[in-house]
Amino acid sequence: MNQIKNVAVIGAGTMGHSLALLFVQHGFNVWLNDVSDQALAKAKGLIASGLETLVELELLPAGQDKAALARLKTTSSLEEAAGSADLVVEAIVEDKSAKQSLFSALDKICPAHTILASNTSFLDIFKFMQTDRPDKVVITHWFHPPHIIPLVEVVRGPQTSQQTVDCIKGLLEGMGKKPIVITKFLPGFIVNRLQSALRNEALHLLDNGYCTPEEIDVATKASFGLRTPITGVVGRMDFAGLDVTQRVLKSPDFELAPQMRKSKTLDELVAKGRLGVKNGRGYYDYGGQSPHQIMRERDTKLVKLMKFLRDLGEL
Ligand SMILES: NC(=O)c1ccc[n+]([C@@H]2O[C@H](COP(=O)([O-])OP(=O)(O)OC[C@H]3O[C@@H](n4cnc5c(N)ncnc54)[C@H](O)[C@@H]3O)[C@@H](O)[C@H]2O)c1
């Protein structure tokens, strides 16, 4: 961790702005890069507002938000952002050829010691990255919003060195994160595979009119959503009884939705331009609130919940 002082975050969208916030909050000098000046301007506003929220929640001493913001610089030049970086965190669009050309460029621009970390959700970057530093390439898969959510899935490639893994693990733990190291690549790692199974059923229920978005979310929050922080998913099987779990698994009467590649309700909303919190309407209508307001409320509740769970010894 001591070796890393300068961080470049590439991609200033949903994940990138929150990653930049996290690193400036913890004292790193950050260059935030995006191909879009508009995305950079929006990100800067969200970072300032996110830092203010951390002060309100007493996670950052008063005045430190301004000091943190002063450690942030934005640029649309990749050379400027990555030329002196000790660590590059990539958070651009989930597209194989975009990530491939970015990593080739980074390999040329960055100093020899720079670690390149991708935030890919499911791409096996180790198969297609062309790099002269395979020992310094790693996946760090964060969870939105990464400046608050503790888990980071650290995925090592076949040639990632132990030194790189140790450095990243130390860096993350120093920022209060909970890294888990995955040594064998599989798309979606752990969390997105679990979430995808849930999303598949939720879309099946919505598309076939079994229930409303509100009903699914009430059902989630008032049942397993409440229980999961205490029992986990695997521990929950022990509480239910493994014989009971085995019976459910075997029963042909309990049929689940097939893997969905397309969803009627999702396609309709996207076609209408309802993209979610980022533009104020998705499955829900956020009543004209700005993304800043919506995220601030979410972040405040998340931090309070995390504090409570930490006090219980569950986090
Ligand atoms: N959104 C999530 O909850 C989430 C969670 C974990 C991982 N991820 C992963 O993180 C990555 C980013 O996701 P996101 O949701 O922040 O996407 P996003 O669409 O919100 O942001 C991507 C940003 O990258 C910029 N960009 C595209 N190509 C670029 C390039 N070559 N150089 C610089 N900037 C470029 C775009 O202009 C955009 O601002 C993806 O790989 C995604 O799979 C997303």
Tell me the CATH number at 113: 3.40.50.720
Q: Is residue 304 part of a domain?
A: yes
pLDDT of residue 1: 46
Q: Could you tell me if 74 and 132 lie in one domain?
A: yes
Q: Is the pLDDT of residue 3 over 90?
A: no
Helix (H, G, I), strand (E, B) or coil at 278: helix
Average pLDDT score, the chain: 96
Q: Which domain holds residue 138?
A: 6-182
The answer to whether the beta carbons of residues 51 and 22 sit under 8 Å apart is no
For the entire predicted model, the pTM comes to 0.93
Measured distance CA(10)–CA(44) in Å, rounded: 14
Measured distance CA(117)–CA(121) in Å, rounded: 12
Q: How far is the CA of 34 from the centre of ligand 1 (A)?
A: 10
pLDDT of residue 2: 59
Q: Which of 1, 167, 9 minimizes the C-alpha distance to 82?
A: 9
Hey, what are 147's tokens? 């400046």
Measured distance CA(109)–CA(131) in Å, rounded: 12
Q: Could you tell me if 268 and 156 lie in one domain?
A: no
Q: Could you tell me if 122 and 10 lie in one domain?
A: yes
Q: Could you tell me if 130 and 203 lie in one domain?
A: no
The answer to whether the beta carbons of residues 102 and 92 sit under 8 Å apart is yes
HSE of 42, CA atoms in CB hemisphere, 13 A: 17
Omega into 145 within 30° of 0, i.e. cis? yes
Q: Is residue 1 part of a domain?
A: no
Q: Is the pLDDT of residue 164 over 90?
A: yes
In ligand 1, the atom with minimum distance to the C-alpha of 94 is 41
With b meaning 16 or more CB within 10 Å and e meaning fewer, what string describes 179-216?
beeeeebeeebeebeeeeeeebebbebbbeeeeeeeeb
Q: Could you tell me if 128 and 167 lie in one domain?
A: yes
Is the shortest distance between the CB of 28 and ligand 1 below 6 Å? no
pLDDT per residue as tens digits for the range 138-152: 999 999 999 999 999
Q: How many domains does the chain have?
A: 2
Q: Could you tell me if 209 and 154 lie in one domain?
A: no
Is the shortest distance between the CB of 102 and ligand 1 below 6 Å? yes
Q: Could you tell me if 24 and 117 lie in one domain?
A: yes
pLDDT of residue 258: 95
Measured distance CA(55)–CA(68) in Å, rounded: 11
User: What percent of the chain is modeled with pLDDT above 90?
Assistant: 95
Q: Could you tell me if 43 and 156 lie in one domain?
A: yes
pLDDT of residue 291: 87
Helix (H, G, I), strand (E, B) or coil at 178: strand
**Residues with a known catalytic role:** 121, 141, 153, 192
pLDDT of residue 240: 96
Q: Could you tell me if 108 and 206 lie in one domain?
A: no
Tell which of 182, 210, 244 closes a domain: 182
Tell which of 182, 208, 236 closes a domain: 182
Pairing label, strands 137-141, 151-156: antiparallel
* Nearest protein CA to atom 33 of ligand 1, as residue: 34
Q: Could you tell me if 124 and 144 lie in one domain?
A: yes
Is the shortest distance between the CB of 14 and ligand 1 below 6 Å? yes
Tell which of 120, 151, 182 closes a domain: 182
Q: How far is the CA of 240 from the centre of ligand 1 (A)?
A: 39
Residues contacting residue 251 through CB under 8 Å, at least 6 positions apart: none
Helix (H, G, I), strand (E, B) or coil at 30: strand
Query: 299: part of which helix (H) or strand (E)?
Result: helix 291-311
Q: Could you tell me if 144 and 266 lie in one domain?
A: no
Q: Could you tell me if 270 and 178 lie in one domain?
A: no
Higher-confidence position of 176 and 278? 176
CATH classification at residue 279: 1.10.1040.10
| Own/partner pairs, 63-70, CB within 8 angstroms, 24+ separation | 68/21, 68/24, 68/25, 69/24
Is the shortest distance between the CB of 31 and ligand 1 below 6 Å? no
> How would residue 186 be classed by pLDDT, with cut points 50, 70 and 90?
very high
Is the shortest distance between the CB of 120 and ligand 1 below 6 Å? yes
* Nearest protein CA to atom 39 of ligand 1, as residue: 13
pLDDT per residue as tens digits for the range 225-253: 999 999 999 999 999 999 999 999 999 99
Is the shortest distance between the CB of 13 and ligand 1 below 6 Å? yes
Measured distance CA(133)–CA(115) in Å, rounded: 9
Average pLDDT of the segment spanning 172-186: 96
From 121, 124, 193, 196, give the residue whose CB has the most ligand 1 atoms within 8 Å, as the site to mutate: 121
